[in-house]
Amino acid sequence: MTLADIITLRMQSVCQRVGTCSSCLKRQLNGFLGLIKWQRRLVPPCVRTIYSETGKWEKSYGLETRKRVENWWLPRLKDQVCRISETNKSRPKFYVLSMFPYPSGKLHMGHVRVYTMSDAVARFQKMRGMQVINPMGWDAFGLPAENAAVEHGLHPASWTQSNIQHMREQFDALGLSFTWEREITTCLPEYYKWTQYLFLKLFEAGIVYQKEALVNWDPVDQTVLANEQVDDNGCSWRSGAKVEQKYLKQWFIKTTAYAKAMFDALSDLPEWYGIKEMQANWIGDCVGCYLDFLLKVDGEVTGEKLAAYTYTPEAIYGASHLYILPTHRLLHGNSSLKEVFQREFVPGKDSLTSVTAVNLLTDQEIPVVISAKTNFENFLDTKIGIPSTSAEDAAVAKNLGISFTEVIETLPNGLEKVINSAEITGMTRQEALKAVTQQAKNKRIGGDLTSDKLRDWLISRQRYWGTPIPIIHCQTCGTVPVPYEDLPVVLPNVSTFTGKGASPLETVPEWVNCFCPRCKAAARREADTMDTFVDSSWYYLRYTDPHNRDRPFNSDLADYWMPVDLYIGGKEHAVMHLFYARFFSHFCHDLKMTKHKEPFHKLLVQGLIKNQTFRLTTTGQCLKREEVDLTGTEPVHLKTGENLLVAWEKMSKSKHNGIDPEELVKEYGIDTLRLYILFAAPPEQDILWDAKTDAMPGVQRWQTRLWALVTKLIEARTSGTMPNPELLNKKEKAEARKIWEQKNLVISEVTEYFTKDHLFNAAISRLMSLTNILHQASRPLILHSTEFEDALASLCIMVAPMAPHIASEMWKGLAHMQNKLCTHHHWDADVLHQSWPKVDPEFLQPSDVVEMSVLINNKACGTVFVPQQAARNFEEVHELVLQSELGIKHLQGRTIKKAFLSPRTALINFLVQE
């Protein structure tokens, strides 16, 4: 290879890494040479058929051929990629998961994008020899089903089941290959039995509790409203009444108990495209903790318990007062102390009350003060006043005449020690912090390090269509968990839904009224159901063992499949859903149910698909396309001629800018739509939908040119001349060498795009460039060159995960071609059962690669070749080793605590948990 050739290859690589824009690609495609017109026809021009049907190769890839190809291959490819009869734990695995949908009844383009990506990755990893699952299920509880029951008289269960059936058919029509035998549906008792089981485990651990909280209350319909049922003017969507805020007893999960652990674990995760920063910001700096207090009035215990936050737990023995906001629930809810607090509160002033608080850790009793402030830091409404560590707290205590003790002493050397603090006296502040928080956690009275911005998770919903909360209320025994053997608590059949009054479950006396499991006296079931986020916070674990009737999942199976290798979903779920899912995974780890704390390794957050909206400037109303005149320079209202506000917005039925995927499949075909979705933009960027732009015609032309390459080779090999590489002259052999080099370069880059950054658009662009190079080959090269045949076969294999139907048919044509030169391909198997192409070893020159020694727990276990330009980059070497055969064999499924790279000695050492 000449220096010029090397530079050309590397420049192509560099250009590809920065991405190829659609307009550049258009120029590239327009610059292609015209297809060579050969005289011989394999099939008469009037016939449109395909090889798989007739054994005759159709020369051109037009509309009819495309329809025949997809009609033939669609049912044959269905499910074949990811079906696993029994998990073979000795094989390397790949778990790709796309966020499961709510069964609304119709797929939209956002669904098509996320599931096309997961499908392409699943097919690619299967071709790499992985045991792959790409499961699908349904986040099936939720408010829309209940609304449908109110508006159309349909029971939520039948409405949901009908929608699931329709959406499954739509999935199949898009050629999406899911591991359907692992399908889960969260509204079925066999699933929510285990959601209830996990709730009881949380209850046992003291991580579930009840307290009063504000809800949206419709005073006309006398019902609780979800946030989405309140309009922008603060009115009920159904009655139109002004919504009120009302205090009701609600169930909470104490996610703050895991705040510090979850914050710290973020550092062990790979780059998440900015999502780690969003998670860290959501959690906040975990510097303080909550501690529990019992409230008293006139020396009498009231039964009220209060958790208060402090930034300096180590100074707790110096607490002078408890500080609450004027908006605190104790002043506005149903507390027995409400009257006392309201009577003693002086607006605008710090109000010292007659209520005292007993610290359950230190047994100190301090007064409760209602603050003059309207808010504290972030979301706090209760704080512990500690004058030793806060000048503001000291000022409040002095102003109100509250005595306090100094508990922090600064030594001459600057070291701060704790004094006057019982058994922690003499400790450093850091030592005291650990001691206090650990004591509190042991006594279950707080102590978990958290931030001032993270709040516990309110999971109560006054709704029917959700997982019943497995709690029984007994007048004698209080709050009693349903025994495990009585799970699931099944939703009763409610026939009438009005959307008014209390939760529909309250209207079923035979279900609500029950007996206490402890004392057997008459009792009542909890009538609230769980937030649907609870159902979706552990579904990834159920997929590992979806039919288990004895437990949520088998730990061995979960340990094999977890963590999810690639999790794909929308950015709108990057905070709450991801946080709750991580919380449940950490909790299950602490219960010894799983060995992995973190549920997801890599995260791929896809952008939106947007389309233009046309709004009236006067009212803001969105118009349908047919109501808009687009013939002039500016769009106007067809009826009135009024100028319109034009914007790119997320596709939505209400905005009249949605596009039906079924219509697109009819017009363009499955493979074209898939390729467009993958090619139009990098995964994390938004796609601005316009089928007339470069991307859609580009991928259509590319498929035609791919097909033409297969036609060229088949025609050459059936021309009567036997192929013989020895007949190539020196110039043609040099040309064949360049094809070989390009093939290897493209294999290397496309493999990296699939494994590292998932830049499908860049992968397609590189495959297009290889297509271009093959089209420039001379006829002798096509006839006699092993390199051309191998490059075309490799191209066909690499296209297959993204456009499986056309690739399957092209492969069938190649497989039955006469006089093949390449023997290393498995021609008797379909293209999706081929091994993913590997770079030929001789392509990697010694100067281009570094042999990296791999150690695990300081013991040598082999070497991995890495590109020289990556050998000094820790992240790249780390990922390349994990993706290598050695990494898959020795590191997959093990918890990596730390890794060290020594570029000077070409060595990487992984410290793993034994």
pLDDT in tens, 333-343: 889 999 999 99
> Quick one: pLDDT band at residue 357, thresholds 50, 70, 90?
very high
Q: Which of 546, 434, 526, 441 is nearest to 479 (CA)?
A: 526
Segment among 138-152, 203-217, 843-857 with least mean pLDDT? 843-857
pLDDT digits (tens, 9 = 90+) for 429-478: 999 999 999 999 999 999 999 999 999 999 988 889 999 999 999 999 99
> Quick one: pLDDT band at residue 27, thresholds 50, 70, 90?
very low
Q: What is the pLDDT of residue 868?
A: 82
> Quick one: pLDDT band at residue 320, thresholds 50, 70, 90?
very high
pLDDT digits (tens, 9 = 90+) for 532-563: 999 999 999 999 999 999 999 999 999 999 99
Q: What is the pLDDT of residue 371?
A: 96
Q: What is the pLDDT of residue 55?
A: 86
Question: What would the two tokens of residue 339 be?
Answer: 């009257």
Higher pLDDT, 416 or 617: 416
372 neighbors 349 (Cβ within 8 angstroms):
yes
pLDDT digits (tens, 9 = 90+) for 148-187: 888 888 899 999 999 999 999 999 999 998 999 999 999 9
Higher pLDDT, 398 or 863: 398
Classify residue 509 as left (phi > 0), alpha (psi -120 to 50) or beta.
Answer: alpha
309 neighbors 289 (Cβ within 8 angstroms):
yes
Segment among 270-279, 410-419, 671-680, 748-757 with least mean pLDDT? 270-279
The whole-number average pLDDT for the span 598-608 is: 93
Residue 515 is classified by DSSP as E
Q: What is the pLDDT of residue 221?
A: 77
Q: What is the pLDDT of residue 48?
A: 54
> Does 44 have pLDDT greater than 60?
no
Say whether 524 sits in a helix, a strand or coil. Answer: strand
The percentage of residues in the chain with a pLDDT greater than 70, rounded to a whole number, is 93
Q: What is the pLDDT of residue 552?
A: 98
Strand runs labelled E in 298-433:
300-310, 321-324, 351-359, 365-370, 382-385, 408-410, 416-418
Q: What is the pLDDT of residue 178?
A: 92
> Quick one: pLDDT band at residue 121, thresholds 50, 70, 90?
very high
Q: What is the pLDDT of residue 858?
A: 84
Q: What is the pLDDT of residue 434?
A: 97
The whole-number average pLDDT for the span 600-610 is: 91
> Does 344 have pLDDT greater than 70?
yes
Question: What would the two tokens of residue 15 be?
Answer: 């250009």
> Does 29 have pLDDT greater than 50?
no
Q: What is the pLDDT of residue 694?
A: 67
> Does 702 have pLDDT greater than 90?
yes
State how far the Cα of 756 lies from the Cα of 866, in Å rounded to an integer.
14
State how far the Cα of 455 lies from the Cα of 80, in Å rounded to an integer.
45
> Does 1 have pLDDT greater than 60?
no
Q: What is the pLDDT of residue 185?
A: 98
DSSP class per residue in 473-511: EETTTEEEEPPGGG---PPP------S-SS-GGGG-HHH
> Does 34 have pLDDT greater than 60?
no
Higher pLDDT, 618 or 166: 166
Kind and range of the H or E run holding 251: strand 244-253
Longest Cα–Cα distance in the chain: 108
> Does 308 have pLDDT greater than 90?
yes
The whole-number average pLDDT for the span 243-248 is: 89
> Quick one: pLDDT band at residue 867, thresholds 50, 70, 90?
confident
pLDDT digits (tens, 9 = 90+) for 73-96: 999 998 566 566 677 888 899 999
Q: What is the pLDDT of residue 228?
A: 66
> Quick one: pLDDT band at residue 870, thresholds 50, 70, 90?
confident
> Does 882 have pLDDT greater than 60?
yes
Residue 653 is classified by DSSP as T
| Per-chain mean pLDDT for the chain | 89
Report, in this order, helix, strand and coil percent for the chain, each rounded to 5.
40, 20, 40
Question: What would the two tokens of residue 573 be?
Answer: 């779920």
Q: Among all chains, which residue has been given the structure tokens 């899912």?
A: 581
Q: What is the pLDDT of residue 889?
A: 86
> Does 787 have pLDDT greater than 70?
yes
Q: Give the β-pairing of 321-324 and 244-253.
A: unpaired
532 neighbors 142 (Cβ within 8 angstroms):
yes
